[in-house]
Structure formats: structure tokens, C-alpha cells
Amino acid sequence: MSAGVGVDLENLWIRFGDFVAVRDANVNINGGDFFSFLGPSGCGKTTILRAVSGFLEPSEGKVLIGGKDMRGIGPNKRPTALIFQNLALFPLMKVWENITFSLEISGASAKERRKRADELLDMIALPDQGDKLPSELSGGQRQRVAIARALCAEPDVLLLDEPLSALDLKLRQHMRTELREIQKRVGITFIYITHDQGEALTMSDNIAVMRAGVIDQIADGKTIYNDPNTAFAASFVGENNVFRGKIKQIMGNEALISTNRSGELVARISTANQGKLAVGDDAMMFIRPEAFAIAADGVSGDHFVTARVNHEEFEGNVFNIFTEGDGGKEIKVSLPNLGQSFDDHTGQNITLEYETRNAVLVPAGELAAE
């Protein structure tokens, strides 16, 4: 039980005309958590954020902040602060005026505001930049100003709508750690929207994976990565190789699948689906590229896959092998570079080996788009 204010969504539906943007969402976000909504663009995650911040009224269901129903309460009355995707810094105000806008609204004196702005500028490591205009700052600096402006309002919940998407890769990675540190320091609830699974995994306590208005899975990063509920979650978070087939036999938490191309393989049924799958069901098995190892030639069995190598590439930390796979999709194998020598297998058949716990079985379903 953490100190911050929690957010709960109860049977939340949001419709625009005939279009259903959010379908029956139920989420409990603990106070003080860093919670991410992860999904491709158009999946409804921004809509949920707007419902929490008060720009949208839900069509059905409730948004509770700190246990209080927020229906009919406008965005300016909610204890939330939103960091917009494009940051929405006021272009005609100086940096310090931007940061202390919430104080200006509550009628604080200019001196007070200036003092608070300097404190916050120190916190975000931008001292003496208060007199610039937002357009005179760099992307990362603007980012931090937006965070300071939101924090200045002393919200119970900070909402972040893909705030890092405009930054370049290096800066993005740097800001991830910084955001996480700020969150730990201020100790309030962060709700973070992103389509970048790397951001979600590195920063979040918990993640909700969303697809077309539906929440597929809510769990911490490790669980989402290792034990996905659905084919979509498995294919969207991280790289994954898919094997389609029918369940031939169920042995406790494991199952034998007759795949379309690679013969009969064994896999672990994902936790959420245990007891729900039956013999004869269409299913999908996912194995991560790094979960394969190259086996000796000629071995075979229910955790060996034999395929022809299309091409290979050397990426530095890993060596990638692409072999013919299921339905036109290649199987990717990533071998860690530990100083060993890599043989050229192009055009040859190789046999790949995996451990059963690394092969996850879920019901057949929609895959994430490439």
C-alpha cells in the first residue's frame, strides 16, 4: 500500500458515434505507481488518458481518482496534470511563466511565482533558463519544462501522453531514466501512454497492453514479456517468432502442438490460459529469438526445429540468423556474441533447440502489425 492517490477505471466504455474507442476497461492503478498503457496508435490509450484528465466524459462506467467518482468534474477541477504529446508549452510566455501558470491562475504574486519557478528549474537541471521563450530551448529542455509545469500544479496524478516521441533515440533513452527518477522523488502516480514497448518495460511498475479499444493484459513488465495472455501481447511486446498449429495433446501446463510447417512441438501454456485450452483448438506458439540455440545436426524431437537459412547478419552484440518460417514469416534467431566464431549457414538447413519454458502457447488470435 503506497502513499499516493490511486486511479480506478470501472467498466469504462467510450464511444464516438458508432465507433467504440474503449471497450469495457477495468483497471486499478495503485497510488504512487508508474503505470503505462502500451499499444499501437489508434488503440484507444490516449482516449483513456483524456477520460482520466476530464476532457472526455465516458459513455458508460466510471473513472475514480482516489476513490472519488469524477463524473461531471471538469479538467480544471481534477487533481491531475497532463503532459501533452506535443508538450503544449505556451509559446508567448517565458519559461518561468509557463512553469508557474497554475500559480498565476490561483492568484499568486509574481515574486512567489518567480521563486517557485527557480526551485523547479533547479530540479529539472535548467537553472537560469527561466527568461527564455520555449522556442529558444532544445527538445529535451522543453520536455523538462513541460514536466516542471505539470508538477508545479502539485497534482496527485501525472498523465503523460507519449511525451518522448518527438525526441531522438539517445535523448529518449536518457529521458526514460530521468522520468523514472523524478517519479520516485515526487512519489505521485504517473500514468504513461506509449507505443514504445522499450519505454514501457524500462519505466513502469505495471503495464496495460491495449489493442483496438480492449485491454489484453495488465501486469508488470517481466510477466508481460515472458508470460503474455494473447497472441497480440506476445507479438507486440518485443520481438517474437510465431508458430501456428492445432493442439494435439495437453499434459498439465504443457501442450503438444502439431504446427503447420515444423512438425510437432512442445510448449508451455501461458498462465492466464491454463485450463482454458482444449485438444483440437487453434493455437499459437511464441519463441523469442534469443531463446534459441543451435543444436547438433541430425537430432530431432519435440523441442527441435529444422529450417533452411535465408540470410544472416552481424549486429555487434548479437548474431542474427533468419530461416524460412511459418506463412512467409521468417524465424529470427539471435545468438549472443560471446567471442565465439559464427559459421556461415546461408542456404543450409540448421536445427534449432529451445527449452519448453521459453515457448509460450496462447489461443490463436490477431498479431500486432509489423
Where does this chain bind other proteins (CB under 8 A)?
A: 53-55, 57, 74-76, 80-82, 84-86, 88, 90-92, 101-102, 104-106, 128-129, 131-133, 136, 149-150, 153
4 in Cβ contact with 156 (< 8 Å): yes
Q: Where are the alpha helices (DSSP H) in 165-212?
A: 169-186, 197-203
Taking alpha carbons only, the member of 93, 96, 218, 197 closest to residue 149 is 96
Is 119 or 131 the residue whose CB approaches other proteins more closely?
A: 131
- Cα–Cα distance for residue pair 167/149, rounded to 1 Å: 19
Which one-letter amino acid corresponds to residue 229? N
Question: Least distance from C-beta 71 to other proteins, angstroms?
Answer: 12
Long-range contacts of range 315-322, CB-CB < 8 Å, 24 or more positions apart? 318/290, 320/289, 321/345, 321/350
Half-sphere exposure of 120 (CA within 13 A, CB side): 28
Q: What is the DSSP letter of 84?
A: B
214 in Cβ contact with 13 (< 8 Å): no
Is 39 or 54 the residue whose CB approaches other proteins more closely?
A: 54
Q: Where are the alpha helices (DSSP H) in the chain?
A: 45-53, 95-99, 101-105, 110-123, 139-152, 169-186, 197-203, 221-226, 231-236
Is 152 or 284 the residue whose CB approaches other proteins more closely?
A: 152
Question: Least distance from C-beta 73 to other proteins, angstroms?
Answer: 12
Q: Distance between alpha carbon 42 and the CA centroid of its chain, in Å?
A: 14
Question: Least distance from C-beta 5 to other proteins, angstroms?
Answer: 16
Is 54 or 140 the residue whose CB approaches other proteins more closely?
A: 54
Question: Least distance from C-beta 94 to other proteins, angstroms?
Answer: 10
67 in Cβ contact with 10 (< 8 Å): no
Is 105 or 279 the residue whose CB approaches other proteins more closely?
A: 105
For strand 34-38 and strand 80-83, is the pairing parallel, antiparallel, or unpaired? unpaired
Taking alpha carbons only, the member of 51, 122, 38, 105 closest to residue 80 is 51
- Give the number of residues written for the chain: 370
Is 159 or 224 the residue whose CB approaches other proteins more closely?
A: 159
Is 77 or 311 the residue whose CB approaches other proteins more closely?
A: 77
Element (H, E) at 15: strand 7-16
Question: Least distance from C-beta 177 to other proteins, angstroms?
Answer: 25
Question: Least distance from C-beta 274 to other proteins, angstroms?
Answer: 43
Is 142 or 149 the residue whose CB approaches other proteins more closely?
A: 149
Is 98 or 259 the residue whose CB approaches other proteins more closely?
A: 98
